[in-house]
Amino acid sequence: MGNVEKKKGFDQVCVWPGTLVGEHDIPEFEKWIADEFGVKVQYLEEIMTKPDTKDGQPVPETGGRNDLFFAVCSDDVGKFAVPRLRIGIRWVEDVLAKGNYRSKIYPRRVFGYCTW
């Protein structure tokens, strides 16, 4: 499976760790974000994290967390930048930054969601 194609004008991808939406609740999720933050989003996918690794070996009792990936309308990024932090939503670039990506908990393909 590859990355989900983003709609035109939805360039900034976010990661919301530990969040489960499910395919049947996508419209409700997108509406909730619009109502709560006043921004338009596109649900992309949910990814189950792989275990952390140490010295090339999986760390017990890690991984298996459901993380939500979604894109924000480019016109709304500025007004979403600070409010998103209060519920733990992060930019994908921050999640995948070299200093943060010590353990490869996501498939490499998610780097395709980055704007850099």
Indicate whether 7 belongs to any domain: no
Indicate whether 91 belongs to any domain: yes
Indicate whether 83 belongs to any domain: yes
Q: What would the pLDDT profile of 63-84 be if each residue is shown by its tens digit?
A: 999 999 999 999 999 999 999 9
- Closest C-alpha to 69, from 46, 49, 53, 85: 46
Indicate whether 5 belongs to any domain: no
Indicate whether 20 belongs to any domain: yes
| pTM score, whole prediction | 0.93
Which tokens is 13 given?
Answer: 């991808």
Q: What would the pLDDT profile of 2-38 be if each residue is shown by its tens digit?
A: 999 999 999 999 999 999 999 999 999 999 999 999 9
Per-position DSSP letters for the chain, written without gaps between them: --PPPPPTT--EEEEETT----GGGHHHHHHHHHHHHS--EEEEEEEEPPPPEETTEEPTT----EEEEEEE-GGGHHHHTTGGGGGT-EEHHHHHSTTT-SS--S-GGGGGG---
- The range of the structural domain enclosing residue 100 comes to 12-113
The total of structural domains in the chain comes to: 1
